[in-house]
């Protein structure tokens, strides 16, 4: 397993097989963070959480200052910067770990780049004003996520003709925009956006056909942890979704997911290690 370092490593080690699957640990710093109840809003507990994730072999820490779960409302640039940037600085000065910043705002991206972020994770795939330009001026990685609609209303009536083809077409267009703006394809990670303008059935179709996103030749990220696609199927509250989350993440990894975005780092690393132990006897899965 890679332990970290340069940006190039972050991407190249996501290119291929199981041994290079990376675990992205979620560090939410929004007061309404959907499954940690805002308990890591405060700086010190956030740093403790980071330390624990590193002890459990996390590969990337994902910091988000805007809630994007269904129904979430917008936050201001200033609020987001205050939530995210001091923590980024503190993590980068204390730990040798990759940090991704979950934001859709060009101003936040600029600050994140200045203070050493290794990846921009954008649920709006750099569609907001100024984002392509800011990211093009750096050389860090970018995760382009698919979403239908906007967080506040995206779950009201999601509709697709062919969800996989829609997502693939969105990816092609965003990759093209990135390349035309001077962002190399080699810097990109794709994410079909589980729970973002998708019914439960849509989400399971995306999971079932996850391998199709690999046809674009880029690393793919899967974020299913504790989401309502797990809770609604199993009738579990947000704190009872660990087993379902692990199972769904493993299904994604078996179809080629390069990064899994999770709340439960230790448990996810354990689950991956079981899959790795099996896979060394089965070339078909590696
Ligand atoms: C994700 C993701 C993200 N998810 C990336 N970034 C969230 N790249 C935030 C629910 O249905 O999947 N990929 N950043 C969190 N968003 C949600 C969405 C949380 C839906 C919960 C749900 O419960």
* Mean pLDDT over each residue of the chain, to the nearest integer: 91
| Residues 188-199: tens digit of each pLDDT | 999 999 999 999
State the average pLDDT over residues 63-76: 90
Ligand 1: lining residues by beta carbon, under 6 Å = 34, 64, 68-70, 102, 121, 123, 143, 145, 191, 193-196, 221, 223, 227-228, 261
Per-residue model confidence (pLDDT) at position 2: 37
Rg (CA), the chain: 17
Strand order in 98-102's β-sheet?
188-191, 141-145, 119-122, 98-102, 60-64, 22-28, 259-262, 221-222
pTM: 0.92
pLDDT of residue 281: 86
* Residue 131 pLDDT level (bands cut at 50, 70, 90): very high
* d(CA 145, ligand 1 centre) in Å: 10
d(C-alpha 60, C-alpha 5), whole Å: 11
**Is 261 an annotated catalytic residue?**
yes
Q: In a mutational test of the pocket of ligand 1, which residue from 101, 195, 234 has the highest number of ligand atoms less than 8 Å from its CB?
A: 195
């Amino acid at each position: 397993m890679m332990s970290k370092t340069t940006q190039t490593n972050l991407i190249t080690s996501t290119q291929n097989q199981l041994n290079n699957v990376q675990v992205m640990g979620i560090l939410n710093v929004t007061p309404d963070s959907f499954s940690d109840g805002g308990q890591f809003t405060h700086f010190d507990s956030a740093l403790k959480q980071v330390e624990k994730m590193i002890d459990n072999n996390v590969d990337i820490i994902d910091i988000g200052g805007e809630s994007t779960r269904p129904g979430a409302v917008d936050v201001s640039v200033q609020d987001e910067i205050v939530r995210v940037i001091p923590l980024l600085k503190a993590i980068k000065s204390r730990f040798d770990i990759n940090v991704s910043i979950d934001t859709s705002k060009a101003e936040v991206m600029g600050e994140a780049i200045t203070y050493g972020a290794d990846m921009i994770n954008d649920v709006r795939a750099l569609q907001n004003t100024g984002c392509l330009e800011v990211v093009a001026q750096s050389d860090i990685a970018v995760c382009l996520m698919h979403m239908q609609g906007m967080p506040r209303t995206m779950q009201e009536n999601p509709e697709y003709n062919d969800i996989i083809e829609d997502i693939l077409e969105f990816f092609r267009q965003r990759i093209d925009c990135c390349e035309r703006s001077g962002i190399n394809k080699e810097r990109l990670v794709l994410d079909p956006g589980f729970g973002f303008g998708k019914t439960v059935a849509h989400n399971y179709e995306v999971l079932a056909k996850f391998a199709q996103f690999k046809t674009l030749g880029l690393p793919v990220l899967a974020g299913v942890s504790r989401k309502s696609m797990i809770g609604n199927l199993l009738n579990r509250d947000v704190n009872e979704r660990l087993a379902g989350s692990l199972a769904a993440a493993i299904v994604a990894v078996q179809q080629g997911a390069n990064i899994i975005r999770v709340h439960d780092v230790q448990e996810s690393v354990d689950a991956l290690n079981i899959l790795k132990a099996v896979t060394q006897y089965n070339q078909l899965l590696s």
